[in-house]
Structure 1
Amino acid sequence: MPVRIPDNLPAAGVLVSENIFVMSETRAANQDIRPMRVLILNLMPNKIETETQLLRLLGNTPLQVDVDLLRIHDKVSKHTPTDHMNTFYRDFSQVRDKNYDGLIITGAPLGQIDFTEVTFWDKIQEIIDWSQTHVTSTLFLCWAAHAGLYHLYGLQRELLPRKRSGVFAHERSGKPYPLLRGFDDEFFAPHSRFAEIPLEKLRAHPDLDVLAHSDEAGAYLVLSKDNRQLFVTGHPEYQKHTLRDEYFRDLGEGLEPELPKNYFKGDDPDNRAVARWHSHGSLLVSNWLNYYVYQLTPYDLNDMQAMTPWES
Structure 2
Amino acid sequence: MPIRIPDDLPARRVLENEGIAVMDSTRAARQDIRPLQIGLLNLMPNKQRTETQFARLIGSTPLQVDVTLVRITDHLSKNTPQEYLDTFYQTWEDVRSRKFDGFIVTGAPIANIPFEEVRYWQEMVEIMDWTQTNVHHTMFICWGAQAALHHFHGVRRYRMPHKAFGVYRHKVVNTRAPYLRGFSDDLAVPVSRYNDIDRSSLPEDLEILIDSAEVGICMLDDPRHRAVHMLNHFEYDHTSLAEEYERDIGAGMTIDPPVDLFPNNDPTQVPENRWRSHAFLLFQNWINEIYQTTHYDLDQIGS
TM over 0.5: yes
Superimposed CA distance per residue, residues 246-270 of structure 1 (whole angstroms, 9 cap, x where no aligned partner): 0010111112122211111111211
Displacement, 1:154?
0.5
Say if 2:26 is the partner of 1:26. yes
Give the match's secondary structure for 2:248. helix
Deviates more, 1:262-271 or 1:99-108: 262-271
User: Letter of the aligned partner of 1:261 in structure 2?
Assistant: V
Separation in structure 2 between the aligned mates of residue 181 and residue 175 of structure 1, nearest angstrom: 7
The 8 Å contact of residues 7 and 26 in structure 1, kept in 2 or not, is answered as no
Separation in structure 2 between the aligned mates of residue 262 and residue 248 of structure 1, nearest angstrom: 16
Q: Which residue does the alignment assign to 2:107?
A: 107
Displacement, 1:151?
0.5
The 8 Å contact of residues 198 and 218 in structure 1, kept in 2 or not, is answered as no
Q: Which residue does the alignment assign to 2:141?
A: 141
Q: Which residue does the alignment assign to 2:287?
A: 289
Superimposed CA distance per residue, residues 126-167 of structure 1 (whole angstroms, 9 cap, x where no aligned partner): 000001010000001111110110001000211112221100
The 8 Å contact of residues 35 and 64 in structure 1, kept in 2 or not, is answered as yes
Separation in structure 2 between the aligned mates of residue 235 and residue 140 of structure 1, nearest angstrom: 11
Displacement, 1:19?
0.2
Q: Which residue does the alignment assign to 2:254?
A: 256
The 8 Å contact of residues 154 and 201 in structure 2, kept in 1 or not, is answered as no
- Identity in percent: 46
User: Letter of the aligned partner of 1:297 in structure 2?
Assistant: T
Displacement, 1:227?
6.9
Q: Which residue does the alignment assign to 1:272?
A: 270
Q: Which residue does the alignment assign to 2:196?
A: 196
Displacement, 1:173?
1.6
Q: Which residue does the alignment assign to 2:159?
A: 159
Give the match's secondary structure for 2:256. coil
| Structure 1, unpaired ranges of 5+ | 307-312
Deviates more, 1:154-163 or 1:144-153: 154-163
Displacement, 1:219?
0.5
Separation in structure 1 between the aligned mates of residue 175 and residue 269 of structure 2, nearest angstrom: 39
Superimposed CA distance per residue, residues 70-92 of structure 1 (whole angstroms, 9 cap, x where no aligned partner): 11134442221222100111111
User: Letter of the aligned partner of 1:244 in structure 2?
Assistant: A
Separation in structure 2 between the aligned mates of residue 76 and residue 198 of structure 1, nearest angstrom: 32
Separation in structure 1 between the aligned mates of residue 187 and residue 11 of structure 2, nearest angstrom: 28
The 8 Å contact of residues 72 and 123 in structure 2, kept in 1 or not, is answered as yes
Residues 81-100 of structure 1 correspond to what in structure 2 (within 5 A)? 81-100=81-100
Separation in structure 2 between the aligned mates of residue 183 and residue 175 of structure 1, nearest angstrom: 7
Given the superposition, is the C-alpha separation of residues 290 and 226 from structure 1 closer, same or farther in structure 2, using an over 3 Å criterion?
Answer: farther
User: Letter of the aligned partner of 1:14 in structure 2?
Assistant: V
Separation in structure 2 between the aligned mates of residue 154 and residue 255 of structure 1, nearest angstrom: 33
Given the superposition, is the C-alpha separation of residues 49 and 175 from structure 1 closer, same or farther in structure 2, using an over 3 Å criterion?
Answer: closer
Say if 2:65 is the partner of 1:65. yes
User: Letter of the aligned partner of 2:298 in structure 1?
Assistant: L
Displacement, 1:30?
2.0
Deviates more, 1:271-280 or 1:24-33: 24-33
Given the superposition, is the C-alpha separation of residues 213 and 281 from structure 1 closer, same or farther in structure 2, using an over 3 Å criterion?
Answer: same
Displacement, 1:51?
0.4
Q: Which residue does the alignment assign to 1:304?
A: 301
Q: Which residue does the alignment assign to 1:77?
A: 77
| Structure 2, unpaired ranges of 5+ | none
Q: If the length of structure 1 is used for normalisation, what is the TM-score?
A: 0.94
The 8 Å contact of residues 166 and 190 in structure 2, kept in 1 or not, is answered as yes
Separation in structure 2 between the aligned mates of residue 90 and residue 305 of structure 1, nearest angstrom: 22
User: Letter of the aligned partner of 1:275 in structure 2?
Assistant: N
Q: If the length of structure 2 is used for normalisation, what is the TM-score?
A: 0.97
Separation in structure 1 between the aligned mates of residue 302 and residue 195 of structure 2, nearest angstrom: 36
